[in-house]
Each structure stands twice: as structure tokens, then as C-alpha cells.
Structure 1
Amino acid sequence: MPAPLRVSQERLVHAIREIAERDGIDAVTMSSVASAVGMRTPSLYKRAAHRHDLLRLAAGDAVRELMTDISELPAHDSAGALTVLARTLRAYAARAPRVSALIFAAPSAQADPTPASAEPLLTALMTAIAAAVPGDPLPAARTFTAWIFGFCTMEQAGAFRLGGDVDEAFEFGLDALLGAIGARRG
């Protein structure tokens, strides 16, 4: 009898992400992922208890990839850091629209990035917000995140149908958001 195929974590995550981006989050199933990596579905259950574990792997990988983008950004004043962070989040959402949605809106808590994998992104966001706004940064961070995620979700869905320049709308919205949350200009 041949030895079971060994699938690296990297290959498994790549397959999950590829299926999600190509066919949608709902297409990430135990059988679709097992097939993509050349293993039998029962063997995959040794690595993940259910599909939400698979989505959690993809979400954690998305955070890691996004943090690589963020860590390569030059230093800015506090409002400038938020501007660059917003633009980086938008660029990432354009590059990986379905998997990036798992970071902010996974289909269940079981599919959310683990607290350990999400922590670097949350720290970067809270640090940038705390440096830019007076008072408790949590409401501002929630508002900032919700606006960016909402904008990106609408943009990826092609929901901006009123004409005009979507890039211009993003910059206008970002300026309005920074003013609304009271971001101090450096």
C-alpha cells in the first residue's frame, strides 16, 4: 500500500485561497480542498475538523500577507499613517477580494482569524488610530474599519454605478472619515 500523500500547510492554504478567489467562499468545502491537494476527504479531517477551520487558515494567511504589505510602508505622521493604511487595505482587497473579506466578515466566528493571527493587524490599526485621534481609539477604529471594508465590498461587487471616478470617491470618503473621527493632521 502506498504511503499517504503528505500535504504541506502552505500547499493546503494555497488551495483554500485559490478555490475561494476563483469560485467563492461557499465553494471551499472539505471535498473541494481535498481534491485540490490530491488527498481523500477523510484524510483532510485529520487536519481540519470542518470547513470553517479551512476558512480560518485562509483568513490567518490573509492577515499575514496584509501585514507584510503594511510592514513595508514608510513612516508617516498620524493622519498620513491612516491614509496609507486605508489605501493598503483597499489594494489588498482588490488583489484578494474574497479572502480579504474573511479578515473582517468571516461566515462564522469559527472561520475568523485566530486571535493570535489577527493580533498584529489589530495592533497596527489600534496604534495608528490611537496616534491620530483624541480619546478612546476603539470607536474610531471600528468606524475606520467599517468604512474601508464597506467601500471595498461595494467596489468589488461593482456597486458604484452612479458614474464618476471611484478612486476620487475613495479619497473623498477617506478625507471625510479622517475629519469625522477627529484625526489630527501631523
Structure 2
Amino acid sequence: MSAPQRVSPETLVNAIREISERDGVDAVTMSSVASAVGIRAPSLYKRAANRHELLRLAADDAVVELTSGIASVTERAHDPREVLVGVARSLRALAARSPNVTALLFCAPDPLAGPSPDVVAPLMTTLLGAVAQFAPGDPLPAARTLTAWAYGFCMMEQNGGFRQGGDVDAAFEQGLEIVLRGLAG
């Protein structure tokens, strides 16, 4: 009998994300992921107790990807407004690449399928820090407003919700400007 194939964490996450984007989040099962990486489903239990934990691996990976995109903005931007624009644009770019996995960040099918709090913490620190410098008052409601607007725009865009014509990129930028003006008071 041959030794079981070893699967790297990157290979596993890539398979989960690929299945999610190709077939939808509901298609991510222990069996489908195991098949995609060339192992038997019981072998996955060493990495994840259930499908929600598999989805969490993908959600965590997406948060790391988003955080990396935002870090490239924060390295060169010293103005909190620029950081918030970068956050919104980075989220839009992630949603364009991986709409189904991006949805796990905001509306996972189960709390265990969403991103890990410790993985989200650096992203939240950056977001709340920029909002605190930009908008008066408690930064959490303002951060939620920006995030909800950006995510809603992204999901409408990915689902073909803008059918009236016009320049969707310009609409994103105009909407972002309106939201930021509102947050600044």
C-alpha cells in the first residue's frame, strides 16, 4: 500500500477556493475537496473537522489577501482618506477575483465558516485606525457603513445588478466619494 499523499496548506486552500468560485460555496464538501487534492475524505479530518472549517480556511486566506492589498496602500498613504479609498478598492478587487469567497467574509453560511477573529484583527486595526483619524466619533459605525456600502456595491456588480448602462467604475468612485463625505461629517 502506498503512503498517503501529503497536501500542502496552500494546495488545500487553493482547491477550496477553486471549488467555491467554480461551483459555489455549497459545493465545498469534505468529499469534493478531498477529490480535488487527490486524497480520501477521511484524511481531511486532520486539517478540518467539517466543511465549515474548510470554508474558514478559504475565508482566512481571502482576509490575508485583502489585508495584503490594503497594506500596499498604507505603506505609501499617510492620509486616512487615502487608506479608506484603498480599503474600498481592495475589497472591490478581491470581490472581482473571488466573489463567492469574498461573501464568506460577510455572510458565511455558519459562524464557523467565516474568517477567524485573529486573522481579521490586523485588517480591523487598519480600518478602524483610518476611520478614527478621518471621521468624528466612534469609528465602528463609520467603518461598518463604509464596509457595507462597498460590499453591497461589489455584490451587485458581481451579480449583474447594474443593468441601466453607464460607467460602473465611475459609479463606484462617485459612490465612494459620497460615502466618505458623509462619514467625514
Partner in structure 1 of residue 135 of structure 2: 133
Paired residue for 1:80, among 71, 79, 82? 82
- CA offsets, 1:79-127, max 9 Å, x none? 2221122112111211111112212221110111111111111111111
Query: Is this contact kept in 1: 2:52–2:112, CA < 8 A?
Result: yes
SS in 1 for 2:102: helix
Partner in structure 2 of residue 106 of structure 1: 108
Partner in structure 2 of residue 175 of structure 1: 177
- CA offsets, 1:15-64, max 9 Å, x none? 10111111111111111000001111112122211110000000001111
Task: Quote how far apart the aligned CAs of 1:157 are.
Answer: 0.3
Could you tell me which runs of 5 or more consecutive residues in structure 2 were left unpaired when the two chains were aligned.
Answer: none
Partner in structure 1 of residue 157 of structure 2: 155
Q: Does 1:42 align with 2:42?
A: yes
Could you tell me which runs of 5 or more consecutive residues in structure 1 were left unpaired when the two chains were aligned.
Answer: none
TM-score by length of 1: 0.94
Q: Distance in 2 between matches of 1:134 and 1:169?
A: 26
Partner in structure 2 of residue 119 of structure 1: 121
Amino acid at match of 1:128: A
Higher percent of residues as helix: 2
Higher relative contact order (CA 8 A, sep 6+): 1
Task: Quote how far apart the aligned CAs of 1:139 are.
Answer: 0.6
Runs of 4+, deviation exceeding 4 Å:
none
Query: Is this contact kept in 1: 2:28–2:51, CA < 8 A?
Result: yes
Greater shift, 174-183 or 154-163, is seen at 174-183
Greater shift, 24-33 or 1-10, is seen at 1-10
Task: Quote how far apart the aligned CAs of 1:180 are.
Answer: 1.4
Greater shift, 158-167 or 52-61, is seen at 158-167
Q: Does 1:142 align with 2:136?
A: no
